[in-house]
Amino acid sequence: MPTVFTNDIEKGITFKQYAMQCARAFGACIEIRDEPLGKEIPSKFKVSNFYGESLKDAKKELELIKKLTIKECNEWTKKEYDCDIDYYTKQLKDIKLISGSKKIADLIRNIDYYQKRQDEENKRVSQRND
């Protein structure tokens, strides 16, 4: 069963095009995976400081938490818990809205159908190889 990457082989792409497509999606070029395929690959990539900044923020938060009294800690924990409950309640409502959609139900039915076909194909190939 072709994938989004191997499907283009059937259309006649070169090995170099295929390799670059894979490099963009999985390898060294992952930073530009969402860019158009025709876009030039930069000779250097800018290093992200996301994790460094996240670590600084976490350390600041830890220092604040260490200074809290038991009462303040309980209040802070309750506030965080309430925010999480609100967030996940909204997510559940959104999922229920989506799952009620005919398009989503059709998509799930198609996924189940193709998964069953893939399982049958895997079994057939396995039996042939035994």
The pTM is what?
A: 0.43
Domain spans in the chain, listed from the N-terminal domain onward: 1-37, 52-89, 100-130
> Over the stretch 30-68, which tens digit does the pLDDT of each residue have?
778 788 777 788 888 788 889 999 999 999 999 999 999
> Over the stretch 60-97, which tens digit does the pLDDT of each residue have?
999 999 999 999 999 999 999 999 999 998 888 887 77
In this structure, what are the phi and psi dihedrals at residue 43, rounded to the nearest 5 degrees?
A: -75, -25
- The span from the CA of 129 to the CA of 36, in Å, is 40
